[in-house]
A and B are shown apart, each in its own frame.
Chain A
């Protein structure tokens, strides 16, 4: 996996909710059954905030959020949709359960980046190295960094998220 991403900054505020701001929970259901396919979910990411977000967002773009990104019932679906769009995520903070779901969704992230909001504006061009924690603001010629994810969690993201990582574990355990 290439841990460096380059793209547009989509800047949001604090307390984005998993079940409405990031992806409206009712849209997870198709014919009464929940769908966890990122290719379906990506069509509904952030549409309650920016109706044409899925069309405008490009792989490599970076979502920059404030404090408690993904608060609420820790449904993973919006995070899977973000991964489906090929986005990266930087936040000032995330609740622990959401942190776990971000890893499970295979979404590259720097989840506890102090004051990142003061460093970027919506529309800036960013280059982010999720392995080292370094962020370059190409629009402003500035750089800053935060602690990257521990290798053990980054490896789960690199494998593609929870299910591929579990599959590998089961193979390693030789239980199937």
Chain B
């Protein structure tokens, strides 16, 4: 019997020739990633275990993306403490604040590569699936990885998601990804990997694939992956990154379920508060007044997202009383936005541009919502309190819909702006 791409990657990382879903293994991390909110806690736990340094500091990645600009002295003190810990650990891949969002820029600079197995603290590591890398999160159990390089994992089953067709104008890949998690649903997604295939991938670059790999984790998927292909090879060549050996699922690999989606039939969507799977056609929320709009987070902070929003915002102003924050995903994205004039568009529209990183998606950091406010955002989740006040409401949508709503002052259809 053949293996899925996930089984192949986990088998290689576990020193096995064959591996099947359901088997429990200890894959060794090619890279172990953590972010600033967690370093101090991790160090405390390691100290409790009697471990002074990670198993292999050359394979540890730490970045500041949650608290990029400390808002309090306590947070500044913590940042100082993190730098001391990282130095003591001897971390090879350390990136300070402003470098970017940790689930985005490591792909752009080749720290994560196709076919690798990355073990992470944070669940959004699944983004790396966009370049054919398997990201698996362990959250609270992550000290096991820092101490030993591994931890037990049950090999997940894989769901095949076949995509065909091209998105209509004004419909973002985020809309399609939202529709996909809505239709698969939490019960089918639980502890499975979404593997994408189909003709549509020829039109979907790495930026688009990040959205496909980011959203499934929100409904309980273990990971998501797109086999690295010519599109990824071209994307890597543009960035002077080394080539890779293509890997894909065997023709006789076992997929638990197969879903088919035609992108040409997709429409704009919105996820109603307070859960990301509450996806409805955008029409059901049109006209809901918004106080804040946010473009960013690891679910939508790459160049294509910025361009999608700028297309709507060009030559327009934010509606009176609406504030908008934009956080590019990396220094590279920010620089390209400056070069291509997107930054002018954001500034002239009246939007604020924050430092590359997680932005307000991280519990409102750098721009929390007030009681009774409504926000339209590209963030990962819309739980109660996710962006500040527990009395605020968050609607999740594509970059284009966020931009259109910011201009209208109420949830709006971006297609109305593309005449």
A contact set with B: CB distance below 8 Å: 15, 17, 19-20, 24-26, 31-34, 36, 48, 68, 71-76, 95-97, 100-101, 104-105, 162-163, 166-167, 169-170, 173, 175-176
Contacts and interface: CB of A to CB of B under 8 A. Distances in A.
B390 interface: yes
A176 B186 contact: no
A20 B78 contact: no
Nearest to B368: A26
B121 to A, nearest CB: 11
A20 B147 CA distance: 31
Interface string B370-398: 00000000000101111000100000000
B385 A104 contact: no
Contact of A20 (B38, B50, B383): B383
Interface in B12-56: 37-38, 40-41, 44-45, 48-51
A150 B360 CA distance: 41
A66 to B, nearest CB: 14
Interface of B: 37-38, 40-41, 44-45, 48-51, 67, 70, 72, 74-75, 77-78, 123, 137, 139-141, 143-144, 147-148, 186, 190-191, 220, 222, 274-275, 363, 381, 383-386, 390
Contacts, number: 104
Contacts of B75: 32
B186 A68 contact: yes
Nearest to B147: A170
Contact of B38 (A17, A31, A34): A34
Given A32-B77, A72-B383, A100 B141 contact: yes
B140 A96 contact: no
A95 B49 contact: no
Given A25-B363, A48-B390, A166-B147, A17 B274 contact: yes
A19 B384 CA distance: 8
A167 B49 contact: yes
A163 B45 contact: yes
B221 to A, nearest CB: 10
Contacts of B386: 19
